[in-house]
Amino acid sequence: MKRLAIPAAAAVLLSVTACGSGFDDQRAAPAQQSEGPAALRVLMASSGDAETNAVKQAAETWAKASGNTAAVTPAQDIHHQLGQAFAGSDPPDVFYVDASRFADYASVGALEPYGDKISDAQDFYPSLRETFTYDGAFYCVPKDFSTLALVVNDELWKKNGLTAGDVPATWEELAAVTKKIKGVTPLTLGDTRDRLGVFMVQSGGWITSQDGRRATGDSPENLAALKYVKDLLADDRIRFARALDAEWGGEAFGKGKAAMTIEGNWIKGAMTADYPDVAFSVHELPAGPKGKGTLSFTQCWGIAAKSKHKAAAISFVEAMTKADQQMVFAKGFGVMPSRQSAKDAYLKEFPGDGAFVEGAAYAQGPVNAPKMDSVLSDFDTSLQQLAAQEPKEILARLQKNTESALG
């Protein structure tokens, strides 16, 4: 495999987004705040018309109540468009920031650290607060989130003589039940860290330390996790989705090629739209040697450090993240509220999502360190060859590349 080249710090900062960010590696100078009504520009990475329309409607409601305006634009490629905007020193006031990109933006001073200025900021799930904390500052509040859970095809489960009591709660039980499932792949999932990472977390490992400052990839915990997966791959008790001619685990699962998959709550919409006749149930992931573990996926409402309307921007985010508004979004386009106070209302509306919601208590967010894109892409490439490669070699490479990226 070609050796990964870790670019120099300046080059990395120019590639924070798809086209380059144009950031300087320094804190942005305070913007002179405008007086009078604000005309906010909001850039969102929309999942579709339902999300776009819901956010636009909420923005109109806020604008009427506040006397300001908010022009909401769905991005074609938000990383590319933000890169151009920051390079031209003309960023939108408010914008979606994916957790996987957060540290890149925060580390160069592109974001206003406003998180604790939002009412009842402690109400956001602790794991999500941590995801958007950099150098001890809570920068931006999560707009919603998702976690991974175990999804079971109820018909295939019963066909193999299995009952609710056979749903695996531990690694040992998962390994055992995969031996009982015949005529179909027992478990399918994606072949990158965004799925296989759950086993690392359940084993007590991860790619970096909690503060994102140290490389921790080459650890006994991570080694145990990859060995466990490799053993199940060896006799096809786990098969990656691509090996089943599917783009993702949900597709293989929906087509009946696997009895179980590991996916997020977005699988509900896909099953309803594409595989409406497949009955399934959702369960918390089996616990590993160090207990329960899952991954979280989230975005925050970023506010530009150079915005001239910071007070209005904070007011806007406040309105977008109130518990009742988050429930409107949940019903409108299937996201889970990031406020703990909305949990009961959400589960009352979506009782089948308990496993996804409970995962928030022990979820691991994306790597919270800048300059890691190339490292993580290389790690994904290695994981795709896990069946044929030694886990120790994969992790040693990850460790070396992470140490180089973190400096």
Predicted local confidence at residue 352, as pLDDT: 94
Is the pTM higher than 0.85? The answer reads yes
pLDDT digits (tens, 9 = 90+) for 107-118: 999 999 999 999
pLDDT digits (tens, 9 = 90+) for 40-67: 999 999 999 999 999 999 999 999 999 9
Q: Which of 7-21, 198-212, 248-262, 267-281 has the lowest mean pLDDT?
A: 7-21
Quickly state the pLDDT bin for 4 (edges 50, 70, 90): very low
Predicted local confidence at residue 174, as pLDDT: 98
pLDDT above 70 as % of the chain: 91
Predicted local confidence at residue 12, as pLDDT: 32
Average pLDDT of the segment spanning 328-340 = 96
For residue 153, CA distances in Å to 51, 258, 271, 369 come to 29, 8, 11, 37
pLDDT at 36 over 70: no
pLDDT at 344 over 50: yes
pLDDT at 177 over 60: yes
Short-list 79, 59, 81, CA closest to 70 = 59
Predicted local confidence at residue 35, as pLDDT: 63
DSSP 195-206: HHHHHHHHTT--
Short-list 45, 51, 43, CA closest to 332 = 51
156, 256 contact by CB (below 8 A):
yes
145 DSSP β-pair partners: 298, 336
Structure tokens at 368: 């919270």
> Domains in the chain and their CATH numbers?
16-146+297-364 (3.40.190.10), 147-295+369-406 (3.40.190.10)
Quickly state the pLDDT bin for 34 (edges 50, 70, 90): low
